[in-house]
Structure 1
Amino acid sequence: MAPTRYSAVAIALHWVIALCILSMIPMGLWMTAAIEQPDSQALAYRVFQIHKSIGFLILALTVMRIVWRLTHRPPALPGGMKRWEGFAANATHVAFYALMLALPLTGWLYVSAGWAVALDRALELATSWFGLFPIPHLPGVAELSESVRRTLAFQAMGAHAAMAWGAVVLIVLHIGAALKHQFFDHDGVLAHMVPFLKPSEGHASETAAKTAPASPWVERGAGLALIAVVAMAGAVAARPEPKPSLEMSSTAPAATAPASVSTGAETAPEIAAEPVAEAAPAETAVKAGVWTINRAASSIAFGGTQSGAAFKGRFEEWEGRIRFDPQDLAGSKAVITVQTSSARTGDATQDGSLQGAEWFDPGQYPTARFETTGFRALGGDRYEARGTLRIKGARLGVVLPFTFREADGVATVAGRLQLDRTALDLGMESDATGDWVSKMIDVQIKVSARRAG
């Protein structure tokens, strides 16, 4: 005999998924428009991360629900239901299952393509599930050409949006049908899924079988076909127009690197001629004091803005070799090496993006390096260090102003400078113009070190 209501697991999955879907629709509508407005971009970015996380939750719960449905018999339909009503009910259920799979999958494909349709520009963003763990992009998508990824993103988002509207229609029909059965037909269908309602008596499975279509594959095919048509219509409608060549070039790295940057390892950057104490031969450099860095009391931090909102980060793994003596600037030298994979902002999505190929790309460039070429005294406890910063394939001549204070053999150093990330080939595909992430990145260095010799 068929059960009179769904199991507790099926009921719980139904309502959790339903609440997730109902939250996703207004969220998606709002953030699509808000991401284009500078004043709301920061909040839209946060909502987008929540939207992705809920989407993956829906995908996982839907797979669980399908497995449960295949292994547990559902309650029978009322015996008095017309044949077309039974067909429509079953086809609608199949369409819902298809949507609950297709909507997250097309969203996943869109994110993996690394292209923002609303802004029509490349935008590589990592995905983390509620900030707990990263979710990788679909394999192979990132390796496609920019034009293919752009087309794929438009079509995936077109299908995603069309199916979202299809879900709205199905939800309205589903709720309307449930209310009809409860208040007009009085057949207890709503009680199948609502625990506090009492199931109707006397609608046996054998009478319900009279209303079922001859082949269940017909209704399943109808539901799947409906979703396929909606998705294809959305994908076709969202075919992107060719981008003008000028617009295409605005998101690409500049053809000519800034004067202070060299992309070849064999050429040193040009540095303006100023009175600088140059590094001395090795036998002279030994005279400068050697310092041992206290990592617990030292830090290399960075910060900027994303979508108008400030962010801060730090490098957790770095080391330095320092010889410095205010009385022997010519014999002073510092080399700082940073593990680029250790960049942390406290935002799992930002951290994942920093590991991407267009940002630090630690797989190919595991370290960044700053090496001084000379020091200069500015008066009092103020100094500046000139040197070469190497990140990825770029070499940039920089000047780091800093203060140096020593007491009882312990030195405290604090320095700060701003770096143009575009000169270091960081984020050039997604945001070469600095509309999304600020071009200028503030870097702060704090070092506590004890004199070792």
Structure 2
Amino acid sequence: MTAASHRYSSVAIALHWVIALCILSMIPMGLWMTSAIGHPDTQALAYRMFQIHKSIGFLILGLTVLRIIWRLTHRPPALPGGMKRWEAFAASATHVAFYGLMLALPLTGWLYVSAGWAVSTDKALEVATSWFGLFPIPHLPGVADLPAGVKRALAFQAMGAHSLLAWGAVVLIVLHVGAALKHQFLDRDGVLSHMLPWLKSGHAGLGHAPRSPWAERAVGLGLIGVIAAAGAIAARPYAQPGLPMTAEAKPAAASAPVAPAEAAVTPGTAAAWTIDSAASSIGFTGTHAGKGFKGRFDRWQGQVWFDPADLAGSKAVVTVHTASARTGDPTQEGSLQGAEWFDPAQYPEARFEASSFHSLGGDKYEATGTLKIKTVTVPVVLPFTFTETGGVATVEGKLELDRTALNLGMESDATADWVSKMIGVQIKVSAKRAG
């Protein structure tokens, strides 16, 4: 038998150590961020750590599936011939338990995220998941459509299982490392060289390759099941749907007036302008997890009729494609697509219509109108400046909007613990006289 046959394949070794490093990084990360998320000074960093934690979890899940497939199609190296029967049994059961943990940990985390309920605050909290900012990962099918009480129960039980599984992983890691060191320095049978190619193989005779009989499989998987069940049972007192639902209250904006169906735009009698999209922008600002953010809408259109000498005949209608909201943070952008925020799948456009203009002196003006987002319409007053040079006008304006009045984020963050209640909006428009 060659030396190479005494070791796992290069693919198996690489998968083992990458997954091991990921798991070892996740444990201290999880302990720190669950404590730090509740403190204003560390909330922003903890939020980002949560996103990294989720991404690594999905990486572990994907690599574990690949590793299981590889294990089923490639025979592992044989155990030492002199290995006691109980040691071989324990080794096989521990391996099965590790595979179960590497699947169960990310799956319970995925279920928790999909439930959209924060255990730490006992409130709804819908947060999108983006894999290292590269692409979105959807929630588990059907979970988002469950009643709030059921989602709350699932969140508590999933997090209870997730936490105990994490501690179970710590125990297994200690046992695994201890056994590997025993084989290397006491038994000197070369078992550690199976995963460390630079170590010399042991001199003990080789036995049969482990086959993971049903008994070992049952013990390993049973251990994982007991840990997960214990976590779910421990969380049950907090997960009963009959307990008060602190985030079940209907948002204040639910009673806001609903705008009628959109009618065709009636042009104003003032001069018409053609907007230069490349030189114009609509941005927004606020705070999230204690840290400021800036965003913009990449797609919007506007129709403007304006003349300082004919304010009565001036008018403006701006339509914004809410799915084009960008902040540079994939998780924020994904959350903005959710039903409690912009929900562009149901309401693809927001509409601002200004029908009354007033001069404030000099180049300063004020537009009064309405803003409709989803089914809610609110009155809006937009102060702006207007300057014209050579038939090209520049308009700049700022205002603040109360997102709670617009029914934005009211299920997860009605009290503005995460996202600021007031959102600043900044517009800059460059336009030419039409015709």
Range of TM-score over shorter length: over 0.9
Q: Which residue of 1 aligns with 2:331?
A: 349
Q: Which residue of 1 aligns with 2:434?
A: 452
Which segment is superposed worse, 32-41 or 226-235? Answer: 32-41
Equivalent of 1:204 in 196, 203, 206: 206
Map Cα deviations across residues 133-184 of structure 1 (whole Å, 9 max, x no partner): 0000000000000000000000000000000000000000000000000000
Q: Which residue of 1 aligns with 2:375?
A: 393
* SS, match of residue 356 in structure 1: coil
Q: Which residue of 1 aligns with 2:360?
A: 378
Q: Which residue of 2 aligns with 1:412?
A: 394
* 1:11-410 correspondence runs (5 A): 11-205=13-207, 208=208, 216-241=213-238, 248=245, 252-255=249-252, 261-265=256-260, 285-286=268-269, 288-410=270-392
Map Cα deviations across residues 210-246 of structure 1 (whole Å, 9 max, x no partner): xx79x71100100000000000001110124379999
- Distance in 1 of aligned mates of 2:409 and 2:134: 24
C-alpha displacement at 1:373, in angstroms?
A: 2.0
C-alpha displacement at 1:452, in angstroms?
A: 1.2
C-alpha displacement at 1:348, in angstroms?
A: 0.5
Map Cα deviations across residues 41-73 of structure 1 (whole Å, 9 max, x no partner): 111100000000000000000011001101111
How many residue pairs get aligned? The number is 431
Contact map agreement 1:252 1:432 (CA 8 A) in 2? no
TM-score, normalised via structure 2 length? 0.95
Consecutive aligned runs of 4 or more in structure 1 exceeding 2 Å deviation: 240-258, 263-267
C-alpha displacement at 1:256, in angstroms?
A: 6.5
* SS, match of residue 80 in structure 2: coil
* SS, match of residue 388 in structure 1: strand
Map Cα deviations across residues 395-438 of structure 1 (whole Å, 9 max, x no partner): 00010000001001110000000000010010000000111110
- Distance in 1 of aligned mates of 2:241 and 2:147: 17
2:358 is matched by which residue type in structure 1?
Answer: R
- Distance in 2 of aligned mates of 1:234 and 1:244: 18
Structure 2: any 5+ residue segments left out of the alignment?
none
C-alpha displacement at 1:198, in angstroms?
A: 1.0
Contact map agreement 2:247 2:411 (CA 8 A) in 1? no
Cα separation, partners in 2 of 1:433 and 1:8, compared to 1, 3 Å: same
Map Cα deviations across residues 68-87 of structure 1 (whole Å, 9 max, x no partner): 10111111111111110000
Cα separation, partners in 2 of 1:132 and 1:224, compared to 1, 3 Å: same
* SS, match of residue 94 in structure 1: helix
1:193 is matched by which residue type in structure 2?
Answer: M
- Distance in 1 of aligned mates of 2:399 and 2:199: 67
Structure 1: any 5+ residue segments left out of the alignment?
268-281
Cα separation, partners in 2 of 1:243 and 1:60, compared to 1, 3 Å: closer
* SS, match of residue 7 in structure 2: coil
Contact map agreement 1:252 1:428 (CA 8 A) in 2? no
Q: Which residue of 2 aligns with 1:274?
A: none
Map Cα deviations across residues 312-340 of structure 1 (whole Å, 9 max, x no partner): 11100000000000000001000000011
- Distance in 1 of aligned mates of 2:243 and 2:386: 48
Q: Which residue of 2 aligns with 1:433?
A: 415
Cα separation, partners in 2 of 1:419 and 1:118, compared to 1, 3 Å: same
What's the C-alpha RMSD, in Å, of the aligned pairs?
A: 2.1
* SS, match of residue 236 in structure 2: coil
Q: Which residue of 2 aligns with 1:276?
A: none
Contact map agreement 2:184 2:191 (CA 8 A) in 1? yes
* SS, match of residue 51 in structure 1: helix
Contact map agreement 1:377 1:384 (CA 8 A) in 2? yes
- Distance in 2 of aligned mates of 1:204 and 1:340: 65
Map Cα deviations across residues 85-130 of structure 1 (whole Å, 9 max, x no partner): 0000000000000000000000000000000111111000000100
2:216 is matched by which residue type in structure 1?
Answer: E
Contact map agreement 2:123 2:246 (CA 8 A) in 1? no
